[in-house]
Amino acid sequence: MTDHTERRFLDGTASTGAYLIVALRGDVALGIRPLGMVDGAAMSVPGKTYLHARLRSARAPVGMAAQYADDGSQVVKLADQKLGFDEAWPELDFAKLDDSRASTIIGVFLRGSLKTEPEVVLQRLEEQDFLLSMAEYVAERAGHDNLVLRPMAIAAWLHEQLDPGMAKLKAQVAASAEFAQHVEDNVELFGFQSALLAKLYKKHLPADAEADDELDHEPDVDPAP
């Protein structure tokens, strides 16, 4: 394993610098790109959330293999210089392979539905650093001798990519909890509909939303004949 901290990247199919290079074998680099989370129901696994990332094996940036060989952080074997994109990482099961790259997706199902139980998902992410677990999973299969970054450094970059989205999710969960409390505080209390709804929604409408004087939220459809 190397003690390098410099981040190097592989280009994606339609993006530049999308994959953080985590390992190097000969002139073949292995990169990772987080894909975020999706609700498990989309994968026929209701009640769960899928956290996943794509791995890509491709030619390393020009000069990278020579740089790591020169500073002694890696021993570049002659046999490694002739490896295919999939052959370089025998512990990885690649789903796609062509003349320019090999790729696959890794992931983990978390407890809780992202759509209906986001607070459960957030709790699990706070209880365990699944991005560090993901980095360690990749490191084990890439081979620690081939790493150019330690798992902690890989996890730190993954967090940088996903934390903004996590912060937004936390804000949404907090707002939902606050709204639920407002509803509970006003249950079984009589009042004019406009006043009741105004009290419930006032703090939860976007700042630039136009207020409806009557707060009439009845469906805009004709009654049944």
- In percent, how much of the chain has pLDDT > 70? 80
Across 7-15, average pLDDT: 91
Instruction: Choose between 199 and 58: higher pLDDT.
Output: 58
Place of tokens 């709204």: 179
- Residues 48, 116: one domain? yes
Terminal CA-CA length for the chain: 76
Q: What is the pLDDT of residue 221?
A: 37
Place of tokens 């992410």: 125
Average pLDDT, the chain: 84
Residue 100 zone, left/alpha/beta (φ > 0; ψ -120 to 50; rest): alpha
Q: What is the DSSP letter of 147?
A: B
Q: What is the DSSP letter of 83?
A: -
What does the pLDDT look like over 113-132, one tens digit per residue?
999 999 999 999 999 999 99
Could you give the CA distance from residue 69 to residue 56 in angstroms, rounded to a whole number? Answer: 22
- Residues 42, 93: one domain? yes
- Residues 159, 207: one domain? no
Across 132-144, average pLDDT: 98
How much is the pTM? Answer: 0.78
pLDDT at 34 over 60: yes
- Residues 196, 136: one domain? no
Could you give the CA distance from residue 48 to residue 41 in angstroms, rounded to a whole number? Answer: 7
Place of tokens 């003690």: 3
For residue 195, what are the CA distances in angstroms to 103, 176, 214, 217? 56, 20, 9, 13
Q: Is residue 180 part of a domain?
A: no
Residue-number span of the structural domain to which 119 is assigned: 9-174
Show Cβ contacts of residue 15 under 8 Å, excluding neighbours closer than 6 positions.
Answer: none
Q: What is the pLDDT of residue 200?
A: 66
pLDDT at 78 over 90: no
pLDDT at 54 over 90: yes
Q: What is the pLDDT of residue 92?
A: 98
Q: What is the pLDDT of residue 2?
A: 52
Question: Phi, psi (5° rounding) for residue 56?
Answer: -130, 130
Q: What is the pLDDT of residue 76?
A: 52
- Residues 213, 127: one domain? no
- Residues 122, 86: one domain? yes
What does the pLDDT look like over 13-25, one tens digit per residue?
888 889 999 999 9
Q: In the chain, how many domains are there?
A: 2
- Residues 158, 205: one domain? no
Q: What is the pLDDT of residue 137?
A: 98
Could you give the CA distance from residue 85 to residue 133 in angstroms, rounded to a whole number? Answer: 24
- For 128, other C-beta atoms within 10 Å of its C-beta total 11
Question: Residue 4 is encoded by which pair of tokens?
Answer: 């390098």
